[in-house]
Amino acid sequence: MSIIAVDFDGTLYQHNSVVSMLKGGRKIFTFRQQCNIALSLLKGSVKKMIGNKEDLRIVLLRSFFLQMKGINAEEMHDFFKSVIDSSRESVNYNLVSRLIEHLQSGDRVVIISGALQPLLEVFVQQLNIRADTIGTELFYNKEGIFTGEIGKNNHGGDKVSKLKQWMKDNNAVNETIWAYADSASDIPLLEFSDKAVVVQPSVKMRKLAQSKGWEVFNNEGNVLKSA
């Protein structure tokens, strides 16, 4: 058995899940709520210009989900389901087929991403694949009502830490690790793995794959050995 660690945005999901959620938000938010999100992004952009290092993606996510404070878990699930249902063309079905091959070989798949945990859970349900998910958390109170707060972004080296903990919890510390990912932020995960596969890489990532001897998963769903 091998452990198959898979990134989400840009890898298994070929676009940005934040953008997909923003599109979904337009259908449920009032004009005032949309203005609140835009204002938060503007303030975040200004702060970044004067040296603030906070990722604007996180600023946007926090503002977006603050507008959803008070929603129950079932309503939140319905929102994420609508996001996935409306963006199925963004799914990398060639890579999904590759994951199914791994599963048929007895491997375990872990989708590990900065994308939100409930979005990843809905994604797995909708595609009917067996996979664990490790994403950025949303917080609910004891009554199951969303507090408007999100957890620390699961990003970069944090993915490696979370995967190590998952492996410890699942008695899988001695298993071979595959990693499928697309971007520079995933280099720690790719380097941690025994078998790294760069998915639909940029020119820079393709050059890195070549220098490291990593494989490249192309648009046709083929795994190619880097030259």
* Lowest-confidence region among 36-40, 54-58, 90-94: 54-58
Q: Does pLDDT of 131 surpass 70?
A: yes
3-state SS assignment for residue 65: helix
Q: What percent of the chain has pLDDT over 90?
A: 69
- Nearest 5°: the CA angle 214, 219, 220 is 105
Rounded Cα–Cα distance for residues 209 and 1 (Å): 25
Q: With 50 as the cut, is the pLDDT of residue 227 above it?
A: no
The average pLDDT across 33-55 equals 78
State residue 54's pLDDT score: 66
pLDDT of residue 226: 47
Domain at 2-14+90-225: CATH code? 3.40.50.1000
Residue 29 pLDDT:
87
Return the pLDDT at 62: 86
Q: What is the pLDDT of residues 210-219, one digit of tens each?
A: 999 999 997 6
Q: How far is CA 26 from CA 40, 61, 121, in A?
A: 16, 14, 22
Q: Provide the pLDDT confidence category of residue 50 given band limits of 50, 70 and 90.
A: confident
Comparing 8-22, 93-107, 165-179, which segment has the lowest mean pLDDT? 8-22
Per residue in 9-40, pLDDT tens? 999 998 889 889 888 888 888 888 888 888 88
Cα–Cα distance between 99 and 105 in angstroms, integer? 10
Q: Tell me the mean pLDDT in the region 61-86.
A: 92
Q: How far apart are CA 21 and CA 83, in angstroms?
A: 6
pLDDT of residue 224 exceeding 70, the answer is no
Task: Give the amino acid at 192.
Answer: F
Averaged over 117-130, what is the pLDDT?
94
What is the rounded average pLDDT of the residues 170-194? 95
The overall average pLDDT reported for the chain is: 90
Is 220 a residue whose pLDDT tops 60? no
Residue 169 pLDDT exceeds 80 = yes
CB 206 within 8 A of CB 182: no
Q: Does 5 or 152 have the greater pLDDT score? A: 5
Round to whole Å and give the CA distance between 151 and 134: 12
